[in-house]
Amino acid sequence: MASAAVLGAGGYLGGELLRLLSNHPSLSVTSAVSKSHAGQSIRQVHPNLEAFPDVILAADAAHVDADVAFLAQPAGEAMQTVPSLLQRGIRAVDLGPDYRLPDPNEYARVYGRPHADPDHLAEAAYGLPELFRDSIRRARLVANPGCYPTASLLAIAPLLEKGMITGPVIVDAKSGTSGAGHDPSPSTHHPEAALTVWPYGAPEHRHVPEMRAAIARTGAATPPIVFVPHLVPLVRGILCSVYPTPLSSDRSRWADVLESRYRDSPFVRVGAVPRLPWALGTNRCYLSVQQAGDAPVVFSAIDNLGKGGAAQAIQNANLLMGWPETTGLDRPGFGV
């Protein structure tokens, strides 16, 4: 049994990591870190989790000893911790944004601060297994993708690889409020978010540079991306309606390309127009190609805390450890 540490264990992603790891057959959580809950047990912070009665949350990662560490921390924190983890031989999966952009200058432009660990930034694998499985297997540091890029890239990357898109890609994305994190802001506070749909992130959401960088990693030409996320009154889940500029309006050909590309990917389904409850609680992405007027549209649905976060991080850890990527993750969605 290998050991796992969860850093940022007090938040939504940290809690989802612990929930999924509680049933993992090959990973045992031996340590957890939360600045705001140090000294408490996991069960005190997450009463729904009874599998870790003896794990007490530490204030920092100085004494973390594990085979793999999951970092579910805000931007800027992981790059302060990762060098020490790697030096101690601990593999790392960062669920935050610190290692997603391979260019430190682009990181500084997007996040408004210099990158503190450019050496490891250059070596980090981008953790979207359906596109970069081989590089993840060889890595010791994985940058878990953002939730919006996961849903968007799985929808368009195979079409870009085949040269089937000629111009701008429009992504109309909608996400539940858990994607904003545990601490409410004026816009994500329930009275503000409950009865409205709120577009945000203009003029350029920070996930757009991440999408461009990921597409460049595939070797495909990068089209202009028009990305508009919307906050909707749901707790979890992402639905993207993706409108690429098509080279051909043959909807069946688009579906064939997606099915072929993901034939060996156990967590991607191509078929009917997805409903979010299918994906909730899972590591699955549901894709569908439909006709919208004279052009195809691709729908993509994931759980932002699952395939868009904690479950995908565990999928990446499985690859790092040499296990089948489905280990501990093959479970159905909620359904309703």
Looking at the annotation, which residues are catalytic?
Answer: 147
CA distances from 120 to 66, 112, 141 (A): 19, 19, 8
Lookup: tokens for 307: 């395939």
Q: Which residues of 175-187 are buried (b: 16+ CB within 10 A; e: fewer)?
A: bbbbbbeeeeeee
Tracing tokens 């479970």 back to the chain, one arrives at 331
**DSSP code of residue 55:** P
Residue 258 exposed, middle or buried by CB count within 10 Å (0-12, 13-18, 19+)? buried
Helix, strand, or coil here: 331? coil
The two structure tokens encoding residue 158: 């195979």
Number of alpha helices (DSSP H) and beta strands (DSSP E) in the chain:
12, 14
Residue 47, token pair as written in the block: 């009463």
